[in-house]
Structure formats: structure tokens, C-alpha cells
Chain A
């Protein structure tokens, strides 16, 4: 449980919001309405069957056992068979209703789960910067899962209502007057349900909040154990955990008390009170007229049928609330409009030569802090442009704007003299290859990590790409070679190996433009040499924009831009910049290679 949970649980969602969430969620289940309604129809059939059996037994009791009207073994057996048939059909209806409803809910929630996942992929990087990955995983999986209980609540509720209606219909066929009298219990039932809902909702919310707090505390203490022990803070943590643990216990105990006060014991007491009504009514009646055994049997059974499913609904209040909160958060994601930057409507230009021009580009992530100011440069086809500067100088932001990860505010970015927004996004992704600083490896194998979903890439192309970047050597040493398993995050592969695979991933698509965010990871000297060699090869015949952390690797760049606080403060070739004796020169000197002949 993340701390974000606790903040949601800490405050209640306004009623109006709750209704909106309920309505929206119910609407989202619409594609599966046939199944839902089918389940409900079966549920109605169940309720009627449930009402029929006591009625028949009552008749049997009164007519044959009490009044002994021409009772034969045959009559007894046929009534027994009739009741058996009804009750077995009731059982079948019960099973079908539960099964279809659960399956319908499953389809509906999985549908929403896919919607959330799909939605995430339409959102921009900005969104992912702001929302912790862990909470998104919770949204996609846990929150959607708790929607099952949300719908189950509705089912149970309709079920209870139908059972009640069924029971009252059954009673009506026995005695109209007594049935009317029995309606007295309805307000009590509704009242106790409402009372419980009132009490439990805030208690439950409080308990959930304490629980997520508690779990967060455990998780954090385990992850940070080194620090805790190193600074000898175990006692402080034990104490503060004891406090959190105690708070959760208290919250939970309060919930237990509320349940004990208002749930099962209450429902049973109401049933007992209703029974008194039956006794009184028929008892008094018996003093003036004949009352049959079947009638009493029927009424006591019907009362049971009314009260017993009640508890299951009340038990679903808390899960329902959980579902509501989850739904609220899911809808929050689905309504998020931090979309990835959009292309122009009829963007269909392609990238053919690979010329890049930044013209007066201003760029900000949040609309307040200007990151790039009036950035201008041109990279001709085949050129290498290197970006140099401190952390925060705008190097990564330049690439983020160029890759369309974020929207820039003003100015133009032109590729092959077309506005970048007029180029089909598909072409941008195809023709511009970005090699990330921290190459991400996906679960699968080497080949799937190079191919990355593009099935048009053949095995030969994968191999050729790996050979081209010099990754084939370590790949062929792996068991299974190109089909060697890759775990998520690529554990088991060194930083250098991951770099090489990500090179292959970019090169296999033969991009016109190569964008390099040079890695800072520590790799051994041998791999480093390999990486440098393949970088050199990759850059040939491609326009390259490189963020350089090692000046030695970009000395041959056609243009070096020195960025400082989002502005180009120096530009030129390596030699020119050295002669300038400015920032670049300082950086270079700091490295101590000014005297180095190569």
C-alpha cells in the first residue's frame, strides 16, 4: 500500500462524487449487460423458487398432516418429490446466478483494467514524472480487482430485495392480513442497514488508512534497514511502529465493536422481534378461529428468508466502499489529460534526409520554470551535434522536446524542413532512434528485446544489428544465444551489455536520426572500448544528436553546443571552442587533457 492510498482513505469522497463514480462504473459495465441481466433473471427465478418451497410444505402440513385429508403414501412421496425438485432447481439457479454474475463482473473489470492500461500508454512523460510507478501499478491491478466487490454489492442488494419480494408474495398467498403486518419489519431492516452503513463507513475508512500506514511503515523499515541499523535507530523505529500498530489495532477493534453491535447480532435480534409478531398475531387469532400448522411454518420460514441474506449485504459494505474508492482513483486516471504531445491532425510527412533545425525553441515542463530559452541550432544530414553542459543545463530537455516526449512552448523544431508536428508520429518513432541513458530491459529473451514487438524484423536482421554494434560476442556466449532469457530490468546483465543491446534495439530499425543519451554507468574498460567503437560505427551516415559526458568521445562532432541554464553559451567545433577559452575549455581543462596530444 502506498502512502497515496492513505491520503485517499484519510478523507471521504463527497456524496455527489460517489454518485458520479457509481453511475460511471455501472455505465462501464454496459457491454456486459446481457450477462448481468441474465444473472439477475436467474436470481429472480431463484427468489421465486425459494418462496415456493415453504408454501408447498405448508400446504402439505396443513392439508395432509394436520387435517389428514385422504393422505396416502403416494401423496406423501409426490409432495416430497415436488419439494425436492423445487429445491434442486433452486440450487441450480443459485449456482448459475452466482457464476454468471461473477463472470460478468470479471469481464467488466478486466475490460476496465485494459482501458486503464491503454490510457496510460496515451499519457505523456510528464504524467509519469508526477505519479510514482508503484501507485500506477496499483491502479491497473489492485484497484480494478476491488471493483469485483463493487458489483457484487449491487448483485447482493438486488438479490436481497428479490428474496424479500419473493417472501412477501409467498406470505400473501397464505394470509394477506398477516403479510401486511409483517411489512412493519421493513423500516427496521432499512433502518439497521442505513445505521450500519453510517457507522461502518467512517470506521472502515479509518481502519484502512491505518492499515496502509502500517504496511508502508513495515515496507519502509525493511528497505531502509541498513540506515536504521547504521545510525542505531532500531529502538526509535520499534517504538514508532508500536504506536502505528496500536493505532491499527484500536481502529480495528472499533470496527469489530460496530460489527458486533449492528451486524449479525442486530439482524438476529430483529428476526426474533419479528417472530414475536407472528406469535402474537396467530396466537391471538387461534383464540377465535382455526389456525393451521402450515401457516406458522410458512411465516417463520419466510421471515428467515428475509433476514438471512441481509447480513451478506451488510458484510459487503466495506468492500463496496473499497470498490468505490478504487473506482474513484481509476476514473481519475481515465480522466487525466496529461496526454503525450499531439501531432497536427493531418501529420503525414516522413523523415528522409535527417536534417534537424531548432529555431527559437522555448521549453518548460511545468509552464513556470523555463528550461530551454531560445534554442537555435541546425544539424545537417549526417552531422553529429553534441550537447555539453552541467546537470540541469537543458541537454536532456532538448532531447525530450525533439523526441516529442514533452510539448515545447514556442519556436519551431524542423526536420527535413517540415514542422515536427507535421510528421507522422509513426515516422518519428521509426526514423529517430533514441538510445537511453539507462537502457530498460523487458521480460522475454534477447531477440525480443532487440525486436521490441516489431514482428516485421527478421531473425537475420536482429543478428545483423547485434553484430553491427558488437553485441554478438557476449550474446553467443549465453545459453540459448538470442533466445537467452531476460528478466525484467535485465538483472544478470552488466550495464555494458545492456547498453549494447539497446544499441542493437535502435540500430535494427535503421533510423535516419540517432539520439544518444550517453550512459554514465560504470562499465569495465574493455566493454567501454566496445561501446565507443560501436557508437562511432552507428553514427556513420546518420544525423546524430549526442549528450556527451565524456568530451573525448565527441571531439570530432561537427557542432558542439555548450548549454547553460537552457541557453547556448558557446558553440562550434572542438578546436574552435578550445580557442575560445570559455566554459568548454574549463571543462576540458578540468579533465586535464589539454596537454594530451590526441
Chain B
């Protein structure tokens, strides 16, 4: 019940909607009481042959009038209450979405995409059901049951009512007994469904591997056996589900038997008329749904409550990254000064910091290269620069202002970032490139694409800059995606450009070309390049070698080679292998023929 209390803020906000809706619902329920009474009176007068034309007009007209009135009432309450529930869903969905937009990396590590989606879909519809079906069931079960029973007492007879209605609570109990079983069966059916989904997902993703081994039919056999299990589970759902209606029929039968025998004897003893008996049977019929509703009400409220709690717990999570809203609003610009004493990931082991004693000074206009093995700390440092994590000791300053002291807008707009794997949105190439400023014109877009060596690729796409990419669009090769992402970062001509292994999928010539362009175009601006390939960083003003979160070597390419340490070794090794590997990497068929 307290879910209604929790939703009170919403009901209050939409007072008018609910006052009108509930009033009409109330009117509808009350109006339902009229027609059984009219039928009974009518029957009596027909049977006793005392029906006059006026009375007939009165009864028939009454029935017709109430049919019309109820149509209006019903329309009014449905459109109000259900509009309210849709509005509730919309409001909560927007709250969730806005919340998602401001949450930090830690949040997204804790919650998987599927879960976040589930909150915005399944949970919201469970809550929405409270505000629609839940309200209806509540009003139904309270108002209709009370009024029907009262009407039965007034119109028919209190003894018959008392005994006749007696079996009906069994229906509530029966529904309450079956519902949890149904839910259990349904949950296992859903599990079976997701097992099948996972299986087919895997088979489709691994179709090449299966084809390679010629094991298609063996895979079908596995799928078939899972389908067999699923059928068994779904049969149980069907079984339980098929019991609800018949249960109501059986319980109503008890009332019918009472009506026929006890009610019949009342008629024979002239305690009630036969018309009243007819009224009674009609009133009985009115009680079926509310009883059903009463049985399910708790279920709906319980589920809604659980969903609401889940949604609220998501909404109450706070981002660890807090914007200084009164911070510096001038665009971040100038020397980059990194002084990190220590940084450990929120869930990390404090004795093994991810970064330790990292002090780097990059003058405006210089290029910093960062290398090191996987997990050495390159990306971690970049994450701090991007303000994905703030929990480090020490500070990072741009233009002698702590990056935490800028507003998000002032700081982030000065940064251009390209990752190794770049997410593209389901829209045109153009809108993906001008992602950071949707008002840029075609010239700007093209210029950025040219700098990223991507323009020619775009022109060979089916619709040029209007080609849809992303999940449903044309699939681009890894190298094309990286270059698009570079164009996306370059379009605003950011003060600080960060490339995190962002050239791994482009071949050596293109890489050289892009780096050359960057060098000449970004003479005044800072560039940070983290890479596996030494070739990406060898021309940097300073190169940092990370190892276990610390700076192990630093210097220019020449000095590091002369030092003959890890960098030099790596350089030699790559001469033997890696550089060419990337240069020649064939990313498969797709990119080739879609080009």
C-alpha cells in the first residue's frame, strides 16, 4: 500500500488529473448499481403484469440513459487515470535518463547496460501499472464491493446477501494462492527464454567458427534440446494460467447454488420477489472482477513497490565527479601540469595504486607521448585528465588552474579525446563528426574529416556525409571508425587533444600522414598520444614510459633509445613485428566491400 504514499508527490503534482479521474471512476462504479435494480423491478412488473407504458419508458429509458452516462464516465476516468500513469512513466523515464547522463564511470562499471535499460523499461511499466491497474483494482475492490453489497441488502435481502456473498472471498484467497505460483512459473519461463536468447546470440556471433568446422547441424541439435526444455517450462505456465478463470466459475457456482436454493425458498416464502432474485444474480456478476482484482492488487502493488525502490536507489546514487558550478568559466587553455602523487581506483587495492608519483609538464603546443605495456597506467592517466575519476592526491592544472576548478563546460570543451574503440551514434557521418557542436557547417565537417584523413573514405560511402552509421547503419572498418573519431575530436580544434591508442587500426602510412597533419595544424595546441606503437609517439617532445603506474623512463625518442631501456627494447621488438602487423592488418571482408 505504501507505494501509493511514495507516489504521492506525483499525484499531488497532477491533482486535477486524479481528482477528475477518480471522481468519474467513482461515478461509474455507482452507476453500475442502477441497472440490476431496474431489471429486478421490471421483471416483477412483467411477471405480475402490472407494467404500464410509463413504467416501461421509465425502465428502458433508465437503462439507456445510464448506458450513455456510463459511457461518458468510463471514457472520462480511463483517459484521466491512464493518462496519469503514462505521464508518471514519462516523468520517471526522463528523471532516469537525466540521471544517467550525469553519472560517472564508476556508476557505469557497477551497472550493466542491460540493467540500466531494464530500469527504464520493465521497472517503469511495473510502477505505471500501480498508477493505472493498481488504482482501478483498489477502487474497484473497495467501492464496488461495498456498494454492491449495500445495494444487494437494500434492493434484495440482507440474509440472502450475507449467505450468497460468503463464498466470494474464496476467490480472493484462490487468486492469492495461484498468483505467486504463476509468478514463479513465469520467472522460470523468462529464464528459459533468456537461455534461448543467449544460445542463439552465441551461435550467430560464432557462426563463422561453426561453419569452419561444419558443425551447423550439431548446433541446431543443441538448440532443439534447449527448446524442448523451454516447452516443458512454458507448459507449467499455461497450466497455472488456465486455472484462474475456471476457479472463479467454480466459486461463483457456490453462490449460484445458494441463490437457487436459499434464494428460491425466500421467493417461495414470499420474503423476496422473483425480480429481486434476478437482481441478485446480476449483482453477483458485478462482484467477480473486483474479487479478482483484490486478489491481484497486492501483487501489483508489491511489484510496483519493488520496482520503485530499485529506480529510487539508482536515482539516489551520486556521481563522484562534482562540478564546481561557480568555477572558472573561461575555456581551459595553457600549459598542462600533472602532479599526481597517488591514485587508486575506487574498487582497487590501495597498496597497489594505479598511478604513483606522476609528474609531467606539457607546455602549450607540445606533444606528449605515453607508452607502456597493457595496464601500466596510460589509460588511467587519461581517465583522470578527462575527469572520469577525481579521487587522486595531487593536482592536475591547465593554465595554472586546477582542472576541478573549471566548470565542466569550460574544461571539457577544451579537450578532444579519441579512444581505441570509439562509439558512433546511429546518425549520419556528418552529425557524428560535428557531435560536439551540432551547428558546425559542412565546410567545418569536411575540414575536420580531411585532417583525419577520412574525407576520401566518406566520399566513397553510399550517401557520402549523409550515410547513416552506428548500429543499424553502414558498418565502418576499425580504421575508418578511428579516423571518424579523430575528425570528431578535431572539429572544435581543442586546446588539448588526447589520442589513446587511437591509431591502432590505421595502417602505418595513414598514421604517418595523420600525425604529420596534426603536427602542422596544431602547432599552438597540446597533443597527448598514448600508444602501443612507438611510431605513434617517436616524434613527441617528451615521451613517458609507464610501468606499474609509475614513470619508468622519460625523454625524447633519441634519448630513450640511447638509454637502452624498456623503450629501446620495445622499439626494436616492434621493428620486428608490431609495426608491420598493423600496417598490413586485414580486418576481414566487411570493410573491404562496404568501402
Contacts and interface: CB of A to CB of B under 8 A. Distances in A.
B454 interface: no
B234 A596 contact: no
B318 interface: no
Interface stretch (A260-268, A474-482, A533-541, A571-579): A260-268
Given A84-B256, A95-B242, A222-B116, A391 B100 contact: no
Interface residues of A, number: 173
Given A94-B245, A405-B208, A66 B423 contact: no
B39 A300 contact: yes
Given A110-B231, A221-B101, A587-B583, A2 B43 contact: no
Which of B102, B239, B278, B532 has the most chain A CB atoms inside 10 A of its CB?
A: B278
B249 A91 contact: yes
A429 B426 CA distance: 38
A245 B584 CA distance: 46
B83 interface: yes
Nearest to B199: A443
Contacts of A88: 249-250, 253
Nearest to B234: A106
A405 B210 CA distance: 11
A430 B215 CA distance: 10
A113 B227 contact: yes
Which of B82, B105, B217, B415 has the most chain A CB atoms inside 10 A of its CB?
A: B82
B593 A369 contact: yes
Given A76-B265, A222-B117, A509-B213, A137 B204 contact: yes
A470 to B, nearest CB: 19
A99 interface: yes
Contact of A80 (B74, B213, B217, B261): B261
A237 B204 CA distance: 32
Contacts of B198: 443, 488
17 contacts: A106-B234, A120-B207, A225-B100, A232-B436, A237-B101, A245-B94, A246-B90, A256-B82, A266-B71, A272-B63, A273-B67, A286-B45, A296-B42, A300-B39, A396-B588, A442-B206, A443-B202
A48 interface: no
A65 B47 CA distance: 12
Contacts of A406: 589
B464 interface: no
A246 B89 CA distance: 11
Contacts of B555: none
B571 to A, nearest CB: 9
Contacts of B493: none
Contacts of B388: 226
Interface string B204-227: 111111111111111110111001
Given A246-B90, A287-B51, A488-B202, A429 B585 contact: no
Nearest to A275: B63
Given A260-B78, A275-B63, A390-B507, A396 B285 contact: no
A397 interface: yes
Interface stretch (A12-20, A324-332, A346-354, A544-552): A544-552
Contacts of B220: 114, 117-118, 121
Contacts of A191: none
A436 B208 contact: yes
Given A114-B220, A222-B117, A226-B423, A520 B253 contact: no
B120 interface: yes
Interface string A378-406: 00000000001111111111001001011
B404 interface: no
B260 A76 contact: yes
A256 B78 contact: yes
A392 B457 CA distance: 13
B68 interface: yes
B260 A242 contact: no
Contacts of B67: 268-269, 271-273, 275-276
Contacts of A246: 90
B317 to A, nearest CB: 14
Interface string B243-275: 101110110110011001100110110000011
B49 interface: yes
A3 to B, nearest CB: 4
A231 B86 contact: no
Given A66-B47, A232-B436, A283 B75 contact: no
> Top 10 A-B pairs ranked by shortest CB distance?
A272-B67, A429-B214, A453-B218, A91-B246, A265-B74, A98-B242, A260-B78, A121-B216, A102-B238, A231-B436
B269 to A, nearest CB: 11
Interface stretch (B151-159, B348-356, B406-414, B518-526): B406-414
A559 interface: no
B259 to A, nearest CB: 9
A87 to B, nearest CB: 4
B46 interface: yes
A547 B586 contact: yes
Contacts of B345: none
Contacts of B587: 391
Contact of B264 (A65, A94, A229, A230): A65
B472 A2 contact: yes
Interface in B155-213: 193, 196-213
Contacts of A107: 231
Nearest to B221: A453
Contact of B581 (A77, A129, A520): A520
Contacts, number: 454
Interface in B115-142: 116-117, 120-121
Given A216-B426, A220-B471, A591-B579, A366 B205 contact: no
A159 B408 CA distance: 63
A218 B97 contact: yes
Given A134-B471, A228-B101, A293-B278, A593 B575 contact: yes
Contacts of B199: 443
Contact of A550 (B101, B213, B581): B581
B104 to A, nearest CB: 8
B586 A396 contact: yes
B548 interface: no
Given A279-B63, A551-B580, 13 more contacts: A3-B472, A61-B278, A80-B257, A95-B242, A99-B238, A121-B217, A125-B207, A133-B205, A215-B117, A283-B60, A300-B39, A509-B213, A522-B532
Contacts of A226: 105, 388, 419, 423
Contacts of A344: none
Given A117-B223, A272-B70, A283-B46, A403 B212 contact: yes
A103 interface: yes
A238 B68 CA distance: 44
B444 interface: no
Interface string A238-262: 1001100110110011001101110
B132 to A, nearest CB: 9
B423 A440 contact: no
A295 to B, nearest CB: 9
Contacts of B239: 99
B211 A590 contact: no
Nearest to A443: B202
A581 B454 CA distance: 30
Interface string B28-53: 00000001000100110111010101
A94 B586 contact: no
Nearest to A520: B585
A113 to B, nearest CB: 6
B592 interface: yes
B282 interface: yes
B581 A590 contact: no
Which of A106, A231, A366, A592 has the most chain B CB atoms inside 10 A of its CB?
A: A231
B118 to A, nearest CB: 11
A117 to B, nearest CB: 5
B274 A68 contact: no
B87 interface: yes
A71 interface: yes
A290 interface: yes
